[in-house]
Amino acid sequence: MDEISLFKQGMRRVSGAVTIVTTLGPRGERRGVTATAVCSLTAEPPAVIACIHRETSVGQLAPLSGIFCVNVLALDQRTTAETFAGRSGHVGEERFRVGAWARLVSGAPTLEGALACFDCRLERFVEFSSHLLLVGAVSRTLIGQKAAEPLIYVDGGFTTATREIRSEGRK
Amino acid sequence: MDEISLFKQGMRRVSGAVTIVTTLGPRGERRGVTATAVCSLTAEPPAVIACIHRETSVGQLAPLSGIFCVNVLALDQRTTAETFAGRSGHVGEERFRVGAWARLVSGAPTLEGALACFDCRLERFVEFSSHLLLVGAVSRTLIGQKAAEPLIYVDGGFTTATREIRSEGRK
């Protein structure tokens, strides 16, 4: 197996929280894409990173708008995840018909019922081959009202966490 | 609640695969740290990113050695995760007494029984406050022999994925 295929097979084994990363176009039009390559960078100051394909609308528009929002999905938001992954064929504003959307500080769409939303100012971005690495300074964190089960992507499918076997873990 | 506390609370809701990121010191000494802020950057070329605290040994040594390896843990490797998170009080080489360790291309330690190991050349790094963002060009991906349950960290504790509720998900 060549290295690219091996890498893809290896990455199927890396569990990730499912998020929708949103931004705005130059006329305020909403854009969003499902992404699992998102993680915390620092807590002080609050900052996150998101790896987004450059050819997606978010990849093209976030560097221009200078804002984005990371919406962390709950298990019951799988349909929304699929819509923003392009599985339903919807593009652009059409996708926002699924789910209830609001705005926080930046204006980037925030998803109601999400586990958490991280509303960001684009601090910097790094171009790397097909992808953009967005570094976001978090202007506002929104904690979802309910502590729902997380939506997790692994092995090419959606799943959630098994609560029973949790230990205290590390702090 | 202040923004930093809100951010930390929000990040507790972001599920992440548990990994151990390893590197070598100038005399070949092994160093490793548990990290959940790791994700895929691009598949072509194979590349990953890892956010590591600058004050960890890996944060200090990876920019010097120019190599690192991301080891993705299985559920039965929780003790190893705790050791490399510093919970047992072990530091430096001592930590490698837990688990069976080998080497691939770069020389950075690879963990036997891991779901996958991504052996990397440090392509570039970005300093951001307390953390380093390591961008790694993957020299070799090692797929674990068994397709074990993943070790996942969420809500301050370890867990795994619930297989039963998986759907096909997106490709």
Whether residue B170 lies inside any domain: the answer is no
Q: Taking a C-beta distance cutoff of 8 angstroms, is the pair B52, B120 a contact?
A: no
- Indicate whether B163 pLDDT > 70: no
Q: List all residues of chain A from 134 to 153 with a beta carbon under 8 Å from chain B.
A: 135, 138, 140-144, 147, 150, 152-153
Q: Domain containing A34 — which CATH number?
A: 2.30.110.10
- Indicate whether B11 pLDDT > 80: yes
Q: Please report the pLDDT score of residue B147 as a whole number.
A: 74
Q: What is the pLDDT of residues A8-44, one digit of tens each?
A: 999 999 999 999 999 999 999 999 999 999 999 999 9
Which one has a higher pLDDT value, B162 or B133? B133
Whether residue B120 lies inside any domain: the answer is yes
Cα–Cα dist A151/B170, whole Å: 13
Q: Please report the pLDDT score of residue A169 as a whole number.
A: 41
Q: Which tokens go with A128?
A: 């790397």
- Indicate whether A90 pLDDT > 90: yes
Beta bridge partners of B19: B35, B72
Instruction: For tokens 């039009």, name the residue.
Output: A29
Q: Which tokens go with A108?
A: 């980037």
- Tell me the mean pLDDT in the region B82-96: 96
User: 3-state DSSP call for residue A93?
Assistant: helix
Return mean pLDDT, chain B: 93
Q: Ramachandran region of residue A77, left (φ > 0), alpha (ψ -120 to 50) or beta?
A: alpha
Whether residue B99 lies inside any domain: the answer is yes
Lowest mean pLDDT among A48-62, A139-153, B91-105: A139-153
- Indicate whether B165 pLDDT > 70: no
Q: With pLDDT > 90 as the criterion, what percentage of chain B qualifies?
A: 91
Q: Please report the pLDDT score of residue B145 as a whole number.
A: 83
Q: What is the pLDDT of residues B51-74, one digit of tens each?
A: 999 999 999 999 999 999 999 999
Q: How confident is the model at residue A146 (pLDDT cuts 50, 70, 90)?
A: confident
Q: Taking a C-beta distance cutoff of 8 angstroms, is the pair A27, A11 a contact?
A: no
- Indicate whether B168 pLDDT > 50: no
- Indicate whether A114 pLDDT > 50: yes
Question: Is A49 close to B49, i.e. CB distance below 8 A?
Answer: yes
- Indicate whether B89 pLDDT > 90: yes
Beta strands in chain A (DSSP E): 16-17, 19-24, 30-35, 38-42, 47-53, 67-72, 101-103, 109-111, 116-128, 131-143, 152-154, 157-161
CA distance A27 to chain B (A): 29
Answer whether B89 touches A (CB < 8 Å).
no
Question: Is B153 close to A171, i.e. CB distance below 8 A?
Answer: no
Question: Is B155 close to A167, i.e. CB distance below 8 A?
Answer: no
Comparing alpha-carbon positions, the chain A residue that sits nearest to B7 is: A141
Q: Please report the pLDDT score of residue B19 as a whole number.
A: 98
Whether residue A9 lies inside any domain: the answer is no
Number of domains in chain A: 1
Q: Which tokens go with B57?
A: 């040994």
DSSP A18-49: -EEEEEE-TTS-EEEEEES-EEEEETTTTEEE
Whether residue B3 lies inside any domain: the answer is no
Domain that holds residue A74: 16-155
Q: Taking a C-beta distance cutoff of 8 angstroms, is the pair A71, A17 a contact?
A: no
Going across the sheet that includes B157-159, the strands are: B157-159, B152-154, B16-17, A16-17, A152-154, A157-161, B161-162
User: 3-state DSSP call for residue B67?
Assistant: strand
User: 3-state DSSP call for residue A128?
Assistant: strand
pTM: 0.94
Whether residue A11 lies inside any domain: the answer is no
Provide the 10 A C-beta neighbour count for residue A147.
12
Question: Is B51 close to A39, i.e. CB distance below 8 A?
Answer: yes
Q: What is the pLDDT of residues B108-160, one digit of tens each?
A: 999 999 999 999 999 999 999 999 999 999 999 999 987 789 999 999 999 99
Name the residue facing B159 among A16, A81, A162 (closest C-beta).
Answer: A162
Answer whether B6 touches A (CB < 8 Å).
yes
- Indicate whether A163 pLDDT > 70: no
CA–CA distances in Å: residue B111 to residues B71, B98, B100: 6, 10, 6
Question: Is B156 close to A168, i.e. CB distance below 8 A?
Answer: yes
CA distance A139 to chain B (A): 8
- Tell me the mean pLDDT in the region B94-105: 96
Cα–Cα dist B104/B123, whole Å: 18
- Tell me the mean pLDDT in the region A53-57: 97
Q: How confident is the model at residue B16 (pLDDT cuts 50, 70, 90)?
A: very high
Q: What is the ipTM of this complex?
A: 0.93
Q: Taking a C-beta distance cutoff of 8 angstroms, is the pair A83, A30 a contact?
A: no
Instruction: For tokens 């992954």, name the residue.
Output: A85
Whether residue B5 lies inside any domain: the answer is no
Whether residue A160 lies inside any domain: the answer is no
Residue A167 burial by CB count (10 A; 0-12/13-18/19+): exposed, middle or buried? exposed
Cα–Cα dist B39/B70, whole Å: 10
- Tell me the mean pLDDT in the region A82-89: 95
- Indicate whether A166 pLDDT > 70: no
**Cβ-based neighbours of B58, under 8 Å, separated by 6 or more:** B21, B22, B23, B31, B32, B33, B52, B68
